[in-house]
Chain A
């Protein structure tokens, strides 16, 4: 059973389109995240949610809108896609928010290519 699963794994889409990436965790964790790994391989946090409440929003453009219907799901919706949005997006979860030594579990990543 995959602990953190995200779909789709690969997505190629045109500029200007709107797309969503779904994420689910079956670990019973309270906190979920979205990370982005860009072409320079930087792995940076975008958002974190704790019990469906937005905690961290790292100056991500408004075109990115996370939605957490329950604490086991955190979906990422992206409007008006731009070429620079091409990256790998990782969903992740952890038991608590920011607790020392709190291990974060990652999904396999979603490869988004905007053409």
Chain B
């Protein structure tokens, strides 16, 4: 029973364009949502988060949008850069733990 889902296993975007990564969740009790970025052979690193009481949080090129009624969040990266190529994990915080999605592999090409 997967409570956090990332339905797109991969995404390919041209450099300079917008990357949009999507995430859906099932439990309305989650109180915080986070995005992690993972390079090969490294651990996930925190990227950006959003509280369940907000609908948008922006940090430089990264913006996370939360639609609570749809139980959906998205990560926008603009402009995308080749160094953004990585696996992005969506995570939901609740019940003393983080529950992760299966990740979306983003490839930014020149």
The smallest beta-carbon distance between B13 and chain A, in angstroms, is: 20
Pick the contact of B43: A4, A41, A48, A101 (CB < 8 A): A4
A43-B44 in contact given A100-B31, A100-B51, A101-B51 (Cβ < 8 Å): yes
Q: Which of B67-75, B77-85, B90-98 contacts A (4 or more CB under 8 A)?
A: B90-98
The smallest beta-carbon distance between B59 and chain A, in angstroms, is: 13
Instruction: Tell me the bound Cα distance from A13 to B66 in angstroms.
Output: 44
Chain B residues lying within 8 Å of A4, measured Cβ to Cβ, are 43
The smallest beta-carbon distance between A43 and chain B, in angstroms, is: 4
Q: Which of A14-22, A64-72, A77-85, A104-112 contacts B (4 or more CB under 8 A)?
A: A104-112
Instruction: Tell me the bound Cα distance from A25 to B96 in angstroms.
Output: 19
Chain A residues lying within 8 Å of B93, measured Cβ to Cβ, are 98, 100-102
Instruction: Tell me the bound Cα distance from A45 to B96 in angstroms.
Output: 11
Taking CB atoms and an 8 Å cut-off, the chain B residues in 24-57 that contact chain A are: 31-32, 34, 36, 41-46, 49, 51
By size class, the interface of chain B is 20 to 34
Q: Among B36, B41, B96, which residue has the most Cβ atoms of chain A within 10 A?
A: B96
The smallest beta-carbon distance between B27 and chain A, in angstroms, is: 14
Instruction: Tell me the bound Cα distance from A4 to B89 in angstroms.
Output: 19
Instruction: Tell me the bound Cα distance from A90 to B44 in angstroms.
Output: 9
Pairwise interchain contact B97-A45, C-beta atoms closer than 8 A = yes
The smallest beta-carbon distance between B22 and chain A, in angstroms, is: 17
What are the interface flags for A13-56 relative to B under an 8 Å C-beta threshold, 1 for contact and 0 otherwise? 00000000000000000000101000011111100100000011
Pairwise interchain contact A45-B98, C-beta atoms closer than 8 A = yes
Pairwise interchain contact B34-A56, C-beta atoms closer than 8 A = no
Pick the contact of A107: B31, B43, B97 (CB < 8 A): B43
| Cβ contacts A to B, 9 pairs, < 8 Å | A43-B102, A44-B100, A45-B97, A48-B96, A98-B93, A100-B31, A101-B34, A107-B43, A109-B41
Which residues of B come within 8 Å of A, CB atoms?
A: 31-32, 34, 36, 41-46, 49, 51, 87, 89, 93-100, 102-103
